[in-house]
Structure 1
Amino acid sequence: MLVFVVFQVFLLLTVVLPPHTTLSHLETTTSAGHAIPFPPFEQLNIKKSIAATKLRPRPRPSPTSDFSSVEDTDHGSAQEAISRNSSVKLNLVHRDKISFSWHKDHRRRFASRMKRDAKRVASLIHRLSSDAAAEYEVSGFGSEVVSGMKEGSGEYFVRIGVGSPARSQYMVIDTGSDIVWVQCQPCRQCYHQSDPVFDPVYSASFSGVSCSSTVCDRVENSGCHSGWCKYEVSYGDGSYTKGNLALETLTIGNTIVQNVAIGCGHMNRGLFVGASGLLGLGGGSMSIVGQLGGQTGGAFSYCLVSRGTESSGSLEFGRSVLPVGAAWVPLLRNPRAPSFYYIGLLGLGVGGERVPLPYNTFQITEFGDGGVVMDTGTAVTRLPTEAYVAFRDTFIAETGNLPRARGVSIFDTCYDLGGFITVRVPTVSFFLSGGPILTLPARNFLIPVDESGTFCFAFAPSSSRLSIIGNIQQEGIQISFDGANGFVGFGPNVC
């Protein structure tokens, strides 16, 4: 008889704190939190995890897909403003759900994801390097455009409406970047997307941004041509988007938001796989979060769906979506990377015990190096090499006699679990600043990499001091950002 194991809820807390708690209060009231015990082992269901990797073919979505309530109709005067007491909710899907037919091959899909991931991480590290700014130069548009910010491609999509009437578009969500952009007609160079390319000629609300506008000044290294503001965003994998900066109306769920600064990309290349563009959720002023500003109080929350499922996650904006009962920890700011969301990580745990690491392993240095970034666009969590090796070796020691397998891609710790129904594995935990302990479900740290039962420890070493908590480790956990008060919350809900 098969026994299906339900993974335990992932948080064990010393105290529940509201999002407006002050930093000093949070630190002093939970200073003893690290001694709280948590279960040293849990069960991983092998058959269920492997089955989740076999995605059913899905037809190419139409612009009127029911992933959101956006309709390709003229909303006329039925405009609804976002207020501090309201919220906006969108469905959130993994990119594999709308990807092309070759992604049905799990091995190929996995290899592609790891290739994108390596380039994403290299891009994030490069953005923090001391010589990154020196590499910006005029390119692409000739004298029209100056090269822009180094970012990376994302893994999760939402569906929003662009223009008036609203045209539904799939957009990559990215907490590690700011610019909101879509591919635009006339498209001199565009990659293939699932929806028709947005044509501003048919939008009554599209308005170009002049070079003299303060909006143009807010775009890092913006360019100017014939009086109109130009933008360019370059990505670490060689992808890019170039075009005009514009003000446009976005329809997010049932809410219409006017005069959003977006990039209208006429030359685009990248590994976005079906998306029409990118919805920047970073901490800068040009992200959708920054542009909504006081209307939402810098508050948003998301749940990333687990890989291979037919369900959808969610992305919500507004202070009313901040949950009661979450574990709130301080957001840290790095002046060298204002778009990134840093959190305080004090240590790592395996099997109920804390891994011995130097106290400053995850701290941001005075030069802006190091620290721990929450990023939806990176799949696999990266740790400084010294921390990763100690973490991995502790995990291996605790797994007992589970049969090992050869390393796969960036993973050096893998197991052959094809002959098992369930296995007992040690828990993996993050010790967060202020006291909370985030204990991950087994499916968030031991993942299938093929259909024959090879599972790998889903962490990798970083080539720098920077640590990145990727979307595999975030899956199924409600994560909330309270930008106005400087906190990020974990839980209490699962998704």
Structure 2
Amino acid sequence: MTVVKTLLFFLFLTITTTTCSSLASHFEQLNVEEEMTATKLKNLPKETEDLEEEQGNWKVQILHRDKISTAPAKDHTTRFNQRMKRDVKRVSSIVNSNSHAYTEAAEEASFGSDVVSGTEEGSGEYFVRIGIGSPATYQYMVIDSGSDIVWVQCQPCDHCYNQSDPIFNPALSASFTGVSCSSSVCDQLDDAGCHQGRCRYEVAYGDGSYTRGTLALETITLGRTLIRNTAIGCGTWNQGMFVGAAGLLGLGAGPMSFVGQLGGQTGGAFAYCLLSRGSASSGSLQFGRQALPLGAAWVPLISNPFFPSFYYVGLSGLGVGGSRLNISEDVFRVTDLGDGGAVMDTGTAVTRLPTLAYHAFRDAFLAQTTNLPRAPGLSIFDTCYDLNGFVTVRVPTVSFYFSGGQILTLPARNFLIPADDAGTFCFAFAASPLGLSIIGNIQQEGIQISIDGDNGFVGFGPNVC
């Protein structure tokens, strides 16, 4: 059975909890041989300016970092370990920035940054190529659903990291306009600075990397669409290594993100597909209500006024083998202080769950996989299997339960993943400190994800990528 057929068969979402009629429906097949083949890098053209012409209005391609890296590691083991190290940093940053106690301490020690993002130095996983300025110069940009600013490295650079494209020169753009300190746009920043009448921005990241510079209005080219007067940070002092990317396209829920600035033009709506691992194709990112598919299963977004940049979803429970686990919904709720809850994040790879929930989830999965040979834990994973020599294996289904009754049952390849080149597969979940749940991109791969910010919903499916 092909991956696409597997996804179509096992990606089901229902409005009410369903009862399966047979034991077989609680299990699915993981194609071990196919998953190991998918760990091999496949070529994709790096020069993609012409590919923008193939996209429709408000739509661009999404590329994984391995597709644009100048020298990705050849072996899967090295790439996997690097990815997990980035992931640990990413999660640490998100957990810290979403901790009420941490935030109060950070405010006392603040050096004037207006935004704290979850993105770590070098941790960008997915990229788009967009045009900046007039005429447009195309740049790779990290996409981050947990960040509320758009910024790009700018000449003249006081300090810039290496990027794959020439650094943007605002002097060559007819549409570049600096933002004055008295502008209402400058007022959108929590703690804006002012230098020689120009609005200054500064964004600090979880590992101490940052970008500093001048806020400006500029034209962004997205597919065949021009978005004029977009507020962007023109960074002349930047510390970080974003795999050669020129900057970051913030897709968070706040007013200064790219989504927030589009506002009425797109109705606060966008959709994305993170293509499954091992594909030589690309994913997609599309803005506007036309991107919202008919037939999606809609899950409510949860408001968290303490951390408005993140997309919180109403996760209420977990299931293994067709049975919902006995875990209190309170484990996944946002507290009165804004702690906890469940965040959808494109930058985190592995889904994190509160320790109590993770242990129950893991133990239920272990209880139904006693027929599979175990392997020692690897990296952040404590539940691994030695599947060397297997062609396929049968594994129990894994499901997310959401408030309102919707259920998302994941394809097997989205929760049992190859961790090395020797046939070790690991259960792709981990415990989260401080009770915050994060639904990561491994679990999102191959599934159409839609955000309807205006109406407060996130949609899953109905199509696969």
The equivalent of 1:159 in structure 2 is: 129
Give the aligned partner of residue 6 of structure 2. Answer: 7
Residue 354 of structure 1, aligned match among 309, 318, 324 = 324
CA RMSD of aligned residues (A): 1.9
More off after superposition, 4-13 vs 202-211:
4-13
SS at match of 1:411: coil
State the match for 1:46 in structure 2.
32
Q: Deviations over 1:47-99 (max 9, x none)?
A: 1111111114667x34x53342399xxxxxxxxxxxxxx95111111111111
* SS across alignment from 1:132: helix
Contact 1:477 1:493 in 2 (8 A): yes
5+ residue gaps, structure 2, are none
Task: Classify 1:8/1:147 alpha carbon distance in 2 versus 1 (closer, same or farther; 3 Å).
Answer: closer
Partner residue, 1:124: 94
CA contact (8 A) 1:342 1:372 kept: yes
Change (3 A) 1:359 1:70: closer
CA gap of 1:324–1:58, structure 2 versus 1, over 3 A, is closer
- Mapped to 2, the partners of 1:134 and 1:262 lie a distance apart of 28
What aligned pairs does 1:342-381 form with structure 2 within 5 A after superposition?
342-381=312-351
Instruction: Quote how far apart the aligned CAs of 1:36 are.
Output: 3.7
Indicate yes or no: 2:23 matched with 1:37.
no
Q: Map 1:46-125 to 2 at 5 A.
A: 46-56=32-42, 61-62=46-47, 65-69=49-53, 87-125=57-95
**Secondary structure at the counterpart of residue 141 of structure 2:** strand
User: Does the 8 Å CA contact 1:116/1:237 hold for their aligned counterparts?
Assistant: no
What letter matches 2:463 in structure 1? N
TM superposition score normalised by structure 1: 0.88
Query: Aligned with 1:190: secondary structure?
Result: coil
Q: Which residue of 2 aligns with 1:149?
A: 116
Query: Is the CA contact (8 Å cut-off) linking 1:479 and 1:491 kept in structure 2?
Result: yes
- CA 1:480–1:4 in 2, change beyond 3 Å: closer, same or farther? closer
- State the 1:237 CA deviation: 2.2
User: Kindly tell me: are residues 14 and 58 of structure 1, through their superposed partners in 2, closer, same or farther at Cα, counting changes over 3 Å?
Assistant: closer
Gaps spanning 5+ residues in structure 1: where? 16-32, 72-85, 140-144
Given residue 113 of structure 1, which amino acid in structure 2 is its aligned partner? R
**1:383 pairs with one of 325, 333, 353:** 353
Q: Among residues 443, 465, 468, which one is paired with 2:413 in the alignment?
A: 443
Displacement of 1:147: 6.0
**Alignment map for 1:33-432 (pairs within 5 Å):** 33-37=16-20, 39-56=25-42, 61-62=46-47, 65-69=49-53, 87-129=57-99, 130-136=101-107, 139=111, 146=113, 148-152=115-119, 153-432=123-402
2:17 partner SS:
helix
Q: CA separation of 1:263/1:445 partners in 2, compared to 1, >3 Å: closer, same or farther?
A: same
The change in CA–CA distance for 1:174 and 1:34 in structure 2 (over 3 A counts) is same
- Structure 2 letter corresponding to 1:417: L
Report the secondary structure of 2:91's partner residue.
Answer: helix
| Higher mean C-alpha displacement, 161-170 vs 266-275 | 266-275
Whole-angstrom CA distance in 1 between matches of 2:455 and 2:57: 18
In the TM superposition, residue 226 of structure 1 has moved relative to its aligned partner by 1.4
Q: Which residue of 2 aligns with 1:30?
A: none
- Which residue identity does 1:455 align to in structure 2? F
Distance (Å, rounded) in 2 between the aligned partners of 1:192 and 1:405: 40
Counterparts of 2:344 and 2:43, CA distance in 1: 31
* CA offset digits 1:277-302 (Å, max 9, x no partner): 11111100001111010111001000
Whether the 8 Å contact between 1:331 and 1:342 is mirrored in structure 2 is yes
- The alignment covers a number of residue pairs equal to 455
Cα distance in 1 for residues equivalent to 2:80 and 2:96: 24
More displaced 10-residue stretch of structure 1: 5-14 or 151-160: 5-14
Q: Which moved more, 1:342-351 or 1:149-158?
A: 149-158
In the alignment, which residue of structure 2 is the partner of 1:26?
A: none
Query: Please, what TM-score do these two structures have when normalized by structure 2?
Result: 0.94
Q: Identify if the C-alpha distance between structure 1 residues 478 and 102 changes in structure 2 by more than 3 Å, giving closer, same or farther.
A: closer
- Structure 1 stretches of 4+ with a deviation exceeding 6 A read none
Please tell me whether the aligned partners of residues 7 and 464 of structure 2 are also in contact (alpha carbons under 8 angstroms). Answer: no
Counterpart CA distance in 2 for 1:361 and 1:260 is 39
SS in 2 for 1:68: helix
Q: Which deviates further from its counterpart, 97-106 or 344-353?
A: 97-106
The one-letter code of the counterpart of 1:356 is N
Deviations 1:299-357 (A, max 9, x none): 10000011232111110011111100000111111000101111111110111111111
Structure 1 residue 146: Cα displacement: 4.2
Structure-2 separation of matches of 1:235 and 1:348 = 32
Q: Residues of 2 paired with 1:411 and 1:168: CA distance?
A: 38
How far apart are the structure 1 equivalents of 2:326 and 2:306?
29
| Alpha carbons 1:13, 1:435 under 8 Å: kept | no
Match of 2:434, SS?
coil
Higher mean alpha-carbon deviation, 258-267 vs 151-160, is at: 151-160
Contact kept? 2:447, 2:461, Cα under 8 Å:
yes
Matched residues in 2 for 1:134 and 1:353: separation?
Answer: 42
> Residue by residue, what CA displacement relative to the aligned partner does 1:91-128 show, whole Å, maximum 9, x if unpaired?
11111111131432322211221111111111111112
Distance 1:303 1:439, change over 3 A: same
The amino acid across from 2:49 in the alignment is S
Counterpart contact for 2:314–2:403, Cα < 8 Å: yes
Aligned residue identity for 2:337: F
Q: 2 CA distance for matches of 1:494 and 1:56?
A: 21
Residue 156 of structure 1: how far off its partner (Å): 0.8
Kept in 2: contact 1:70–1:160 (CA 8 A): no
